[in-house]
Amino acid sequence: MLPWTTYEAMHDAALNQPEPFWLEAAQRITWKQAPMTACRTRADGWHDWFPDATLNTCHNAVDRHVENGRGEQAALIWHSCATKERQVVTYRELQGRVAGFAGGLRSLGVGKGDRVLIAMPTMIETAIAMLACARIGAVHVVVFAGYAGPELARRIDDVAPKVIIMASCSFQGQTPIPSAPALNDALALAAYRPQACVIVQRAACQTSFMPLRDHDFHTLEQSAPAEPVTLRSEDPLYILHTSGTTGHPKGIVRDNGGHAVALALSMDLIYGCKPGDTFFTTSDLGWVVGHSYGVYAPLISGCTSVIVEGGASASAIRALCHEHDVKCLFTTPTQMRLMRQESRNLSGAILPTPARIFVAGEYADPTLLEWARSYFCKPVVNHWWQTETGWSITAHFFGLPERDPVPLMNDIGRPAPGFRPEIVPSIPGEQCGEIVLSLPLPPGCLAGVWKDGAIRVPAAYLDETNRYYRTFDEGMIEASRAVHMLGRSDDVIKVAGRRISGVQIEKIIAAHPAVHACAVVASPDELRGQRPVAYVVPNSGVKVIPSSEEMIGRVNQALGRWIGLKEVHFVRHLPTTVSGKITRKRLLVS
Ligand code: AMP
């Protein structure tokens, strides 16, 4: 039972009495040596969480649940949308497989602090590899399975992994894409040489092993089991490269102790999940949501985690929710748009849906959230995240006894414990501006960025006073502490000196029933500096595509003619990052 009755009491306690707040939160974790201190300032001005404590994250995610009688409960349920395979792994089975594979990694010479690069699609073996690294204190670096040689080589050179783990293929839709060409290209391009590669052979596309270099994943799983090692709270658990939404990909480093505490608290407080509940994230394990809510948070909390390989259709998502009695579904606006599209062609009864649905990752227009709420008849909650923070900066809190106010269509919730957002207006007196977070950031956020074997916090993350972390997101904060998001600060368009976020224009266009998705970017304008240009993807199957004039008319009516929208392009797709977010920068008109 959480000790606070209201949101304000909880949030104020975390900001005003951080030591007792976080030491209490830390009781959700099984420590080797329990913390006496919550936060300590590092020599470089950044912060370490639980600096006097030791633990093992894998023990918290796996072994302790077997010890506490959850051995026969499903830990991971995997469904491949590509091959239609399914696998259910209990906590006891997971313990055996992780301990064995950890022993196998050891036999390849991997030890504490060594990096292991995992370039795998979402599979049970991906989670096993991550947890096995955590067990022996190695630092996992999961990268997108679909990267071509040069992208993979960049990451190999960045982290210098002792071992690379891959599957023999990943899938694009139902088509197997062999991994060997990208791996061989990457190894030819990279300056650094890993000692070994481990391969998961998949039936759809077997690869021939290179003698001395390659090892079979499932054979290594049969190795003598390795026990969890004791790690300091601030020892690195993993490095995860940002998707590029927040600039050039950076290797974000996450610690062990702060990460475990933040995720365990979030399962209680934000998602309202208890041990034994089922959590389903549609995110690839290679992204931060997949790390945090596909693997670590549900497992640390003794829940069952449903993970999927490939893009699940709306009907597949609903069937999985029904079959596994999912309590929380965590998905993205893009996935939600596809569900909306598919729902138009579905007939028959809607299967029961999860108790609550969460979206994050990119702007979700209010029309979409409204559709989801009425379609599923359940709360649909938007919350705000970055790879850097590892969990949500703002959210709604299903674990509090007081009913959190019904989420508004536009807000992204109120700050999670320990986050204190403030607005830096670019024009004095304006309510909107860049959202900055006052330091220290709460546990679970980045310990730093990996660069040349060291962990540093780049100056670009800090404001000039070194007291705030810069999110590079724009928004505003209400008196109720609810935060509204206007998009990335570099997506703001300046028309004749007046600022308008592309997202504000997108919101109007997206409300048109024939629109599937849209993006608005700035184009240079000789007279007024910049003007907006809209790219619109119509719904599939619409009989009459609306005219540009109709879209321009809507925007002018809602926001005023000063916006100067004159160009609306109807397109079939919008460019996205590999994680599926719209990349407005790639639409920029020069
Ligand atoms: P990434 O680190 O790749 O996960 O991207 C983080 C960025 O995604 C944030 O800085 C935001 O720009 C965007 N983002 C995340 N969640 C939301 C949300 N709920 N609404 C709007 N944008 C979001």
Which atom of ligand 1 is the closest one to the Cα of 471?
10
Give the pairing type, strands 175-178 and 492-495: unpaired
Which atom of ligand 1 is the closest one to the Cα of 383?
19
For residue 240, report the distance from its CA to the centre of ligand 1, in Å. Answer: 16
Pocket test for ligand 1, best of 330, 359, 363 (most atoms within 8 A of CB): 363
Distance CA 6, CA 328 (A): 22
Helix locations, 292-332, DSSP H: 297-300, 314-323
Nearest to 60 by CA among 372, 268, 298, 220: 298
Q: Sorting pLDDT into bands at 50, 70 and 90, what band is 408?
A: low
* Percentage of the chain modeled with pLDDT above 70: 95
Q: Where are any strands of DSSP class E within 160-263?
A: 163-167, 169-172, 175-178, 196-200, 214-216, 231-232, 236-241, 251-255
Nearest to 554 by CA among 491, 518, 492, 512: 512
Q: Where are any strands of DSSP class E within 335-379?
A: 356-359
Residue 227 or 520, more confident:
227
Is pLDDT at 248 greater than 80 in this prediction? no
**pLDDT value of residue 544:** 82
The residue whose CA has the least distance to atom 21 of ligand 1 is 363
Residue 526 or 210, more confident:
210
**pLDDT value of residue 346:** 65
For residue 387, report the distance from its CA to the centre of ligand 1, in Å. Answer: 8
Is pLDDT at 77 greater than 90 in this prediction? yes
> What mean pLDDT comes out for the span 304-320?
90
Nearest to 412 by CA among 474, 358, 483: 483
What does the block give as tokens for 428?
């004095």
Distance CA 222, CA 202 (A): 18
Is pLDDT at 406 greater than 80 in this prediction? no
Is pLDDT at 350 greater than 80 in this prediction? no
Highest mean pLDDT of the ranges 184-188, 358-362, 399-403, 582-586: 184-188
**pLDDT value of residue 590:** 43
Tens digit of pLDDT for each residue in 261-309?
A: 999 999 999 999 999 999 999 999 999 999 999 999 999 999 999 999 9
Q: Where are any strands of DSSP class E within 364-457?
A: 380-382, 394-395, 414-415, 421-424, 433-438, 448-451, 454-456
For residue 378, report the distance from its CA to the centre of ligand 1, in Å. Answer: 23
Q: Sorting pLDDT into bands at 50, 70 and 90, what band is 487?
A: confident
For residue 487, report the distance from its CA to the centre of ligand 1, in Å. Answer: 8
Which region among 40-49, 71-80, 118-127, 310-319 has the lowest average model confidence (pLDDT)?
A: 310-319
Indicate the pTM of the whole model.
Answer: 0.90
What does the block give as tokens for 52?
């006097």
Torsion angle (degrees, nearest 10) of CA 364, 368, 373, 375: -140
Which region among 223-237, 390-404, 573-587 has the lowest average model confidence (pLDDT)?
A: 573-587
**pLDDT value of residue 411:** 84
**What domains, with CATH codes, occur in the chain?**
91-229 (3.40.50.980), 498-586 (3.30.300.30)
Q: How many CB atoms lie within 10 A of CB 571?
A: 14
516 Cβ partners below 8 Å, 6+ apart? 337, 341, 537, 538, 539, 540
> What mean pLDDT comes out for the span 406-422?
84
Pocket test for ligand 1, best of 485, 504, 507, 585 (most atoms within 8 A of CB): 485
Give yes or no for residue 288 CB within 6 A of ligand 1: yes
Mean of pLDDT over the chain: 91
Distance CA 16, CA 24 (A): 14
Give the pairing type, strands 394-395 and 356-359: unpaired
Distance CA 337, CA 570 (A): 17
For residue 98, report the distance from its CA to the centre of ligand 1, in Å. Answer: 32
Is pLDDT at 569 greater than 50 in this prediction? yes
Give yes or no for residue 284 CB within 6 A of ligand 1: no
For residue 219, report the distance from its CA to the centre of ligand 1, in Å. Answer: 40
Which region among 114-118, 228-232, 423-427 has the lowest average model confidence (pLDDT)?
A: 423-427
* Residue whose structure tokens are 């633990």: 55
Distance CA 241, CA 502 (A): 26
504 and 489 Cβ atoms separated by less than 8 Å: no
Distance CA 515, CA 539 (A): 5
For residue 42, report the distance from its CA to the centre of ligand 1, in Å. Answer: 28
The residue whose CA has the least distance to atom 22 of ligand 1 is 362
Pocket test for ligand 1, best of 385, 410, 470 (most atoms within 8 A of CB): 385
Give yes or no for residue 503 CB within 6 A of ligand 1: no
Q: Quick one: how many helices (H) and strands (E) in the chain?
A: 17, 33
523 Cβ partners below 8 Å, 6+ apart? 530, 531, 532, 533, 567, 588, 589
Contacts of range 488-493, beta carbons closer than 8 Å, 24 or more positions apart = 488/245, 488/246, 488/584, 489/434, 490/585, 491/521, 491/584, 493/520, 493/521, 493/522, 493/530, 493/531, 493/532
> What mean pLDDT comes out for the span 134-154?
92
Distance CA 510, CA 345 (A): 20
Tens digit of pLDDT for each residue in 200-246?
A: 999 999 999 998 899 999 999 999 999 999 999 999 999 999 865 55
The residue whose CA has the least distance to atom 15 of ligand 1 is 361
Q: Is the peptide bond before 440 cis (omega within 30 degrees of 0)?
A: yes
Distance CA 218, CA 200 (A): 7
